[in-house]
Structure 1
Amino acid sequence: MFSTRKMWLIFLLYLFPYANTAQDIIFGQNKFTEYQIGNMSLIITVPHGGSKQPSTIPSRDCGCWDMSSSKCFFTHNCPPGTIKDSINCKVSTVKDLYTLETALNLGKEIQKITGGYHPHIIINHLSRSKLDVNREKDEATFGVPEAEQAWDEFMQFINTAKSYSPKGLLIDVHGHAHPENWIELGYLISKQNLDSGAFTAADSSILFLSKESYNIPFETLLRGDRSLGNNIQEQNKKYLCVPSPTHPGPSGGNYFKGGYIVKTHGSKDNGQVDAVQIELPRWIRDSSERPIFCAALAKAISNFYNFHFK
Structure 2
Amino acid sequence: MACAPEPTTPAAPTTPGPVRNGETGYIRSWPGELPIVLSVPHDGAIAPAEIPDRTTGVTVRDSHARALAEAIRDALRERCGRAPHLIVCELSRRKVDCNRALAEGATDPVAIRTWREYHGAIDAAEQAVLARSPHGLYLDLHSHGHPKKRLEIGYLLKADDLRLPDARLDADDTVAARSSLRALSRRTPAKFSELVRGETSLGGLLAARGVPAVPSPAEVLAPTDPYFNGAYDIAAHGSRDGGRLDAAQFEVPAPQRDTPAHRAATAKAVAEALEVYFERHFGTKLR
Q: Deviations over 1:215-274 (max 9, x none)?
A: 2111111111221111111112xx221101112434431110000001111111111100
Aligned equivalent of 1:107:
73
Question: Which blocks of at least 5 consecutive residues in structure 1 are unaligned?
Answer: 1-10, 63-90
Please give the TM-score of this superposition, normalised by the length of structure 1.
Answer: 0.80
Aligned equivalent of 1:98:
64
Counterpart CA distance in 1 for 2:12 and 2:182 is: 33
Aligned equivalent of 2:85:
120
Aligned equivalent of 1:298:
271
Aligned equivalent of 2:113:
149
* Deviation at residue 23 of structure 1 after TM alignment: 1.7
Counterpart CA distance in 2 for 1:277 and 1:247 is: 17
Counterpart CA distance in 1 for 2:275 and 2:85 is: 14
The residue type equivalent to 1:302 in the other structure is E
The residue type equivalent to 2:149 in the other structure is N
Counterpart CA distance in 1 for 2:54 and 2:254 is: 24
The residue type equivalent to 1:152 in the other structure is R
| Residue 42 (str. 1) matches residue 39 (str. 2) | no
Larger Rg: 1
Counterpart CA distance in 2 for 1:137 and 1:158 is: 15
Q: 1:210 aligns with which of 157, 161, 185?
A: 185
Aligned equivalent of 1:77:
none
Question: Which blocks of at least 5 consecutive residues in structure 2 are unaligned?
Answer: 1-9, 170-174
Q: Deviations over 1:267-309 (max 9, x none)?
A: 1111110000000001211114111111111111222123333
Q: 2:239 aligns with which of 256, 267, 270?
A: 267
Q: Is the contact made by 1:25 and 1:35 (CA closer than 8 Å) also made in structure 2?
A: yes
Q: 2:103 aligns with which of 130, 138, 149?
A: 138
The residue type equivalent to 1:265 in the other structure is H
* SS of structure 1 residue aligned to 2:264: helix
Counterpart CA distance in 1 for 2:108 and 2:53 is: 10
Structure 1 segment 139-178 matched on structure 2, within 5 A:
139-141=104-106, 143-164=107-128, 165=130, 166-178=134-146
Q: Deviations over 1:2-60 (max 9, x none)?
A: xxxxxxxxx8447xxxx8x4525243323201111111210001010110001221001
The residue type equivalent to 1:205 in the other structure is S
Structure 1 segment 232-271 matched on structure 2, within 5 A:
232-236=206-210, 239-271=211-243
Counterpart CA distance in 2 for 1:12 and 1:277 is: 23
Counterpart CA distance in 2 for 1:241 and 1:22 is: 34
| Residue 193 (str. 1) matches residue 161 (str. 2) | yes
Aligned length: 262
Q: Superposition RMSD on alpha carbons, in Å?
A: 1.7
The residue type equivalent to 2:105 in the other structure is A
Higher RCO, Cα 8 Å, sep 6+: 2
